Amino acid sequence: MSDTALIERLLGPDREGIRLIAVSTLHGSATIDGTSGPMGNDTDAELLAALREWSDIAVVGSATVKAEEYGPSTSTRLAVLSHSLDFAGFEDFIAAGPIVLTPAERASSPEAQRLADAGAEVISTGTGTMSEAVSALHALGARRISCEGGPSVYSAFIAEGLVDQLYLTLDPHLSPSVEKPVVDGEATSPALKLELENVDTVDSTVFLRYRRAQTP
């Protein structure tokens, strides 16, 4: 199977909706030595790129942008969730024009105006729920939305039932503790039932694709 054919198989059918993209060690940690950098392989990187290309907008938390040292996006537009609106040291990232999603109480703040002046598009998410954030993205015409984390962002999507598909890469590392869990939130709603759509392995790395289970 060619690399292109493999990525197409991992990506699956082109369906509108919300896709969560996560990588985890075998024991459930989202990071090794503070970042996801040591995890995954070339196929994982190609799949992430393909999922970004599929997306109208990719959502990510500001903590992940900083920890993973995101640079300016050259393909899909990024929407960054932030309450502090502090992007010191990431001026080039802001100058590239990402969307910054923040609660209404922060959307009219001096910090928000500085980001707007620097090139970002600051958008209010009302009271700050993930449903309101997704509604704001829908208002921009986004129908294919991906989520790149981190743990608290994943939890917010899951808690509000905003998951159509999950792309989970299992990295073959094992350590005696979970440095950072893949999801990190309060159990305020029932767990979502998923159905396995596809599984592939490349160099001991497992690629899982799930869809939300259909209710009767």
**Domain at 115, CATH number:** 3.40.50
Range of the domain at 113: 61-142
User: Residue 105: its pLDDT value, please?
Assistant: 96
Q: Based on the domain organization, do 69 and 98 belong to the same domain?
A: yes
User: Residue 162: its pLDDT value, please?
Assistant: 96
Strands, E, within 42-91: which ranges?
Answer: 57-61, 77-81
Helix (H) or strand (E) holding 170: strand 165-171
Q: Based on the domain organization, do 120 and 73 belong to the same domain?
A: yes
CA torsion through residues 142, 145, 56, 34, sign: positive
Q: Based on the domain organization, do 137 and 164 belong to the same domain?
A: no
Average pLDDT for runs of 10 along the chain of length 216: 86 96 93 82 94 96 93 87 97 96 97 98 97 98 96 94 97 88 82 95 96 79
Of 101, 125, 142, which closes a domain? Answer: 142
Q: Based on the domain organization, do 44 and 65 belong to the same domain?
A: no
Q: Which of 148, 207, 147 is nearest to 172 (CA)?
A: 207
Q: Based on the domain organization, do 46 and 148 belong to the same domain?
A: yes
- Name the DSSP letter for residue 194: E
Q: Based on the domain organization, do 21 and 51 belong to the same domain?
A: yes
Strands, E, within 4-98: which ranges?
Answer: 17-25, 57-61, 77-81
Q: Based on the domain organization, do 34 and 45 belong to the same domain?
A: yes
Q: Based on the domain organization, do 132 and 162 belong to the same domain?
A: no
Q: Based on the domain organization, do 82 and 10 belong to the same domain?
A: no
Question: Which is it for strands 165-171 and 205-212: parallel, antiparallel or unpaired?
Answer: antiparallel
**How far apart, in Å, are the Cα atoms of 134 and each of 2, 58, 80, 110, 212?**
35, 11, 12, 24, 18
User: Residue 134: its pLDDT value, please?
Assistant: 98
**Contact in structure between 130 and 156 (CB atoms under 8 Å):** yes
Helix (H) or strand (E) holding 171: strand 165-171
Listing from the earlier edge strand, what are the strands of the sheet with 144-147? 121-124, 99-102, 77-81, 57-61, 144-147, 17-25, 165-171, 205-212, 194-202
User: Residue 72: its pLDDT value, please?
Assistant: 86
Q: Based on the domain organization, do 84 and 97 belong to the same domain?
A: yes
40: left (phi over 0), alpha (psi -120 to 50) or beta: left
Residue-wise pLDDT for 68-112, tens only, equals 999 887 678 999 999 999 999 999 999 999 999 999 999 999 999
- Residue 44 belongs to domain with CATH number: 3.40.430.10
Say how many domains are in the chain: 2
Of 110, 142, 174, which closes a domain? Answer: 142
* Strand-pair partners of 194: 212
Q: Based on the domain organization, do 70 and 169 belong to the same domain?
A: no
Of 123, 142, 161, which closes a domain? Answer: 142
Helix (H) or strand (E) holding 116: helix 110-118
